[in-house]
A and B are shown apart, each in its own frame.
Chain A
């Protein structure tokens, strides 16, 4: 009997053959694995130029959610946002699936973006530009319509993953009790937000500096829409906070990002008031997610069993959000 597995790496040669079949390529196709993490990313070389290929992890999205993601990315592309839009298959669909040992994995081939990914240490000027870019994305998303459905669902994900984090601090009763209590408060406050004053729409879900790049043309591009979906627009800002906090950058960088965002789409008073809550939720969600996935993908850079930093962040931003 085949031993149960939690994740696999597809055979590159088999993948190249499958791509040739699905996309109707003529001539040689070569796949090179570029990164292996939550999703696997390949660079595809063939006669019609390089493309990027994402092999999604099993269970990350169902087919309808994955279809939403591709439709959203292509909508943004049609509305002037530089994105790695999906390349249609020979039959016109935007992705296909393969049966991996751990379950079904969706595969999408995308436009290759040639440019310079943002350094994780962005300055205030870059942050302002990226903030404005996020607001541009939100504007371009306004008229996005699709029969497919994808909700970001940070709160249920946090509720589902928090037990893994609690298990990691099982020998630390103070932290355990705090996380339980603060986690419940965050979920209550999120549920109490007024959708009229904290509006939702299609969001990127993870627009941090590492998911943006400057193209050779000088334009900004954004990639990795794995976490996109319907969510409070103002909550989309929190992904940037989290990464900036993680890299130890000053608060002025976050302020510049928000100022850039507001230069295009001003936040309502309630959206502004909810920022500390969104930031705390992001720290809760990412830490819980890492705790859950550490056994699937191995240690995440910066996240080993020493979770002092993460506890410090949750407590710090809990205090700012008046969650104790």
Chain B
């Protein structure tokens, strides 16, 4: 009997054959694994053309969610946003599926974007520009609709993921109890947001600096729409802030990012009055997300199983938000 596995790396030669069968590509086709983590990415060279191939982790999203993502990214592309637009296969589809040992994996062939993703060395000017680009994406997505919308709700993510984190913290009652308390406080605060009718719409879902690229022509491109869906636009802002808090650790970068965002999409009072809540919510979502990931992909840079930095951020931001 084949031993159960949680992740596999697809054979690149078999992938080449699959792509040749499904897409109208120049020959020869060569796949090279360039990133192996939650999703695997391959660089595909087809004749003189370059593409990126994403092999999503198994059974992570529904087919409807991938349909939504592909349509959303395609929509942004048609609106002039720089995004890795999916390539249409011979049968007209924007992605396909294969049966990997751990489950169904969804593959999306995308146009290659040439440039450099941002690092923790980004400047305040860059942050402002990146903030503006997120608002542009939000504005461009305002008229996008899809029957297969994936709804993103931070509190639902916490319900789903926090138990994994608590399981890992069984031997650390202090942190365990903090996360229980913080989650309850955040969920209670979210219940009060309903009447505010905060702006909702298509969101990127993980707009951290490493998912933004300065392309060779000097413009900005957004990558990795894996977490996209319909949600509170303001939550998207804090996907940037979380990564910035973890690695850049310079409040002026966050301020510049938010100011840049507001230039393109002014924030409502209800959003401005709850920035602290959205910040700590993202902290909790990410702590619990990494707890799930740790046994799938191994230690993640900056996360070797020590929740210290994660918890310190969450504690500070819970207090800042007046929820401690």
Cα–Cα distance between A82 and B97 once the two chains are bound (Å):
49
Write out, one digit per residue, whether chain A residues 1-29 have a CB within 8 A of any chain B CB (1) or not (0). Answer: 11111111111101000100000000000
| Neighbouring A residues of B102 by C-beta, 8 Å | 8
Q: B11-54, CB under 8 A of A: which get 1 and which 0?
A: 11110001000000000000111111000100000000000000
Q: Which of A268-290 contact B (CB under 8 A)?
A: none
Question: Are B6 and A7 interface neighbours, CB within 8 A?
Answer: no
Contact A36 B297 (CB under 8 A): yes
Most B CB contacts (10 A, CB to CB) among A2, A9, A12, A100 go to A9
Asked if A250 is an interface residue, CB under 8 A from chain B, the answer is no
In the complex, whether A35 has a CB less than 8 A from a CB of chain B is yes
The answer to whether B32 touches A5, judged by C-beta atoms less than 8 angstroms apart, is: no
The reply to whether B8 and A5 contact each other, CB–CB distance below 8 Å, is yes
Asked if residues A298 and B35 are in contact (CB atoms below 8 Å), the reply is yes
Q: Is B296 an interface residue, CB under 8 A from the partner?
A: yes
Q: With A and B bound together, what is the CA distance between A2 and B306 in angstroms?
A: 36
Interface residues of A in 83-109 (CB under 8 A from B): 98-102, 105
Least CB distance from A166 to B in Å reads: 15
Which residues B78-127 have CB closer than 8 A to chain A? 98-102, 105
Residues 298 to 315 of chain B near chain A (Cβ within 8 Å): 298-299, 305
Which residues of B lie under 8 Å from residue A31 when comparing CB positions? 295
**B74 — which chain A residues lie within 8 A by C-beta?**
none
A101→B1 CA distance, assembly (Å): 10
- B interface bracket (residues with beta carbon within 8 Å of A): 35 or more
Pair B101/A5 contact, Cβ less than 8 Å: yes
Knowing A35-B299, A101-B101, say if A294 contacts B3 (CB, 8 Å): no
Residues in A with CB closer than 8 Å to B11 are 3-6
- Nearest-neighbour CB distance to chain A for B112, whole angstroms, equals 14
Is A34 at the interface (CB under 8 A from chain B)? yes
Are A6 and B100 CB-contacts (below 8 A) given A32-B305, A99-B1, A295-B32? no
Tell me whether A3 and B99 are in contact (CB under 8 A).
yes
When chains A and B are docked, how far (Å) is the Cα of A3 from the Cα of B96? Answer: 13
Contacts of B33 in A (CB 8 A): 294-299
**B residues in contact with A11, CB < 8 Å:** 3-6
A101 to B105, CA, bound (A): 15
A19 to chain B, nearest CB (A): 12
- Residue in A1, A10, A295 whose CB lies within 8 Å of B5: A10
A2 contact from B4, B32, B101, Cβ within 8 A? B101
Contact with A along B285-298 (1 / 0, CB 8 A): 00000000011111
A230 on interface, CB distance cutoff 8 Å:
no
Closest 4 CB pairs of A and B: A298-B36, A101-B101, A36-B298, A5-B8
Closest to B14 in A: A4
Contact B4 A14 (CB under 8 A): yes
Chain B proximity of A20: nearest CB distance (Å)? 15
Asked if B246 is at the interface (CB within 8 A of a chain A CB), the reply is: no
The residues of B that contact A10 with a CB separation of less than 8 Å are 3-6
Contacts of B296 in A (CB 8 A): 9, 33
19 A-B interface contacts by CB (under 8 A): A3-B100, A4-B13, A5-B8, A5-B9, A5-B11, A5-B100, A6-B9, A6-B12, A9-B6, A11-B6, A32-B294, A33-B299, A34-B299, A35-B299, A98-B3, A101-B8, A295-B32, A297-B33, A298-B9
Q: Does B2 contact A (CB under 8 A)?
A: yes
Contact indicator A101/B99 (Cβ below 8 Å): no
Residues of A close to B10: CB separation below 8 A? 3-6
Residues of A within 8 A of B2 (CB): 99-101
Interchain nearest-CB distance for B84 vs A (Å): 19
B6 touches A12 (CB 8 A): yes
Which residues of B lie under 8 Å from residue A4 when comparing CB positions? 10-11, 13-14
Contact present for A8 and B8 (CB under 8 Å): yes
Give the residue name and chain of the B residue nearest to A9 (CB).
B7
Nearest CB on A from B16, distance (A) = 11
**A8/B9 contact (C-beta < 8 A), A3-B98, A3-B99, A100-B2 known:** yes
Expressed in whole angstroms, the Cα–Cα distance for A192 and B12 within the complex equals 38
Closest CB of chain B to A237's CB: distance in Å?
31
A293 to chain B, nearest CB (A): 10
CA of A98 to CA of B101, assembled, Å: 14
Contact with B along A108-124 (1 / 0, CB 8 A): 00000000000000000
CB distance from A78 to the nearest CB of B (A): 32
Chain A residues with CB below 8 A from B6, complex form: 9-12
Sample of 6 more A-B contacts, CB < 8 Å, known A32-B294, A101-B101: A4-B13, A7-B9, A12-B6, A12-B295, A36-B297, A296-B33
Contact A294 B9 (CB under 8 A): no
Determine the chain A residues whose CB is within 8 A of the CB of B295 once the complex forms: 12, 31-33
A1 to chain B: which residues have CB within 8 Å? 99
Q: Which of A2, A294, A295, A298 contacts B100 (CB 8 A)?
A: A2
Chain A residues near B8: list those with CB within 8 A: 5, 7-9, 101-102
Given A3-B100, A298-B34: A8 in contact with B12 (beta carbons within 8 A): no
Expressed in whole angstroms, the minimum distance between the Cβ of A96 and any Cβ of chain B is 11
CA distance A319 to B4 in the complex (A): 50
Closest to A17 in B: B4
Q: Tell me, rounded to whole Å, the shortest Cβ–Cβ distance linking B95 to chain A.
A: 15
Inter-chain contacts of A7 with B (CB < 8 A): 8-9
Report B-chain residues with C-beta under 8 Å of the C-beta of A3. Answer: 10-11, 14, 18, 98-100, 105
Highest count of chain B CB atoms <10 Å: which of A1, A10, A105: A10
Q: Chain A residues with Cβ under 8 A from B298's Cβ?
A: 9, 33-36, 40
Which A residues lie within 8 Å of B7 (CB)?
8-9
Closest to B167 in A: A30
A18 CA to B2 CA, complexed, in Å: 13
- Residues of B close to A98: CB separation below 8 A: 3
